Amino acid sequence: MAGVLPVYRAIFMHLWKERNMARIYNFNAGPAALPVEVLVKAQSDLVEFSGAGMSLMEMSHRSKDFQAIIDAAEANVRELMGVPEDYAVLFLQGGASLQFATIPMNLRRPGKSADYVNTGSWAGKAVKEAKLTGDVNIAWDGKAEGFKRAPKPCELNLSPDAEYVHICSNETIGGIRFAEFPKTDAPLIADMSSEIMSRVVDVSRFGMIYAGAQKNIGPSGLALVIIRKDLMERCPETVPYFLRYTTHANEGSMYNTPNTWGIYILKLITEWMLGKGGIPAMQKADEEKAAALYSVLDSSSFWTTVAEKESRSIMNVVWRLPSEELEEKFVADAKKSGLIGLKGHRSVGGIRASIYNAVPKASVDALIAFMKDFEAKNG
Ligand SMILES: Cc1ncc(COP(=O)(O)O)c(C=O)c1O
């Protein structure tokens, strides 16, 4: 704990005593920090769920108890995000990565093309999968600029007959986001894995929104898909049943055995969000955390942020230090002070702090205190 100011140490010790457990300052990119209240509730349900004499993990997904959980999870998602009736809410397996493959298989009809915006690692993976099964038009490519920003809507070179336009709304690795979503004639599809439910979004502007759960809304191994029902009907007959959205929509996300535990945790997390004031409250808290961190980064030339200002992510803050040696020392010293998950992604290096909904302001305050101390000693 050396290096963390006494007040943060006190918070840490308080939590430790209250919960009889050690909670570290967790800045992991995903799987990531979950709300302590949710973990405590899940722990209490772990061995015996609600008087059932067994754990939820031992229960049939066809049971009344589980049906109530998945119904509540869907209702919470609909309430939080204001999902219109003509959209299906699906809980799928295979993470966001399987969506990269199934989106073009389902929504780009034979002989047609789709527009993709290349903003970095995750958008690039979606492009790679889409190219395997048909034509792709790259409507904008940030590679030559080093993926430092998202494009302005007017910069997109959209094709008039595209089946859809795909974006990654927040690039987890590069730490950039679309501050403003493009208006498109073709349905807009967004990978929101690393920012879902952190900002108020008008779902009706999208054909589909999807996210791997393991950052803001649950554990890994679960993907949330929100899709306009008429788009699902485009799916060619040659697509395997399991990979069709209609299959899962028709079976209430229970065509096969779903990730029951993941859906249960998602239900608890969405309840937690509703109890805190919903997405507007999440957004306010997230913007405050990010503003505090960026203001330290902007205050000294010791730190260099990577993203251009207007594209800065609110969830994944990425920066560099004067040398790679100092970056290594920063990560190692932070770990000694109880701050973990700060190493930038191996593909880009540097430092990354992921400050998702469940990361408390106290964690960001502890990080800022550590940064000031580190700069004073090494700057
Ligand atoms: C923006 C984004 N898209 C997609 C993925 C892939 O998600 P999954 O591991 O659930 O397949 C990630 C994972 O970190 C991500 O950050």
Whether 121 lines ligand 1, by a CB cut-off of 6 Å, is no
Mean pLDDT of 231-259: 98
pLDDT at 347: 86
**pLDDT-above-90 percentage for the chain:** 92
Q: Which pLDDT does position 1 carry in this prediction?
A: 38
Q: Is the pTM of this model over 0.85?
A: yes
pLDDT digits (tens, 9 = 90+) for 198-244: 999 999 999 999 999 999 999 999 999 999 999 999 999 999 999 99
Confirm or reject: Cβ of 187 under 6 Å from ligand 1.
no
User: For 77-127, what is each residue's pLDDT tens digit?
Assistant: 999 999 999 999 999 999 999 999 999 999 999 999 999 999 999 999 999
Q: Residues 263-291: pLDDT tens digits?
A: 999 999 999 999 999 999 999 999 999 99
Whether the CA torsion 193, 196, 201, 205 is positive or negative: it is positive
Confidence of residue 332 (pLDDT cuts 50, 70, 90): very high
Active site residue 115: no
Between the CA of 374 and the centroid of ligand 1 the distance, in Å, is 31
Q: Which of 65, 71, 115, 122 is catalytic?
A: 122
pLDDT given for residue 21 in this prediction = 58
Ligand 1 pocket: which of 167, 194, 220 to mutate (most atoms within 8 A of CB): 194
**32 Cβ inside 6 Å of ligand 1:** no
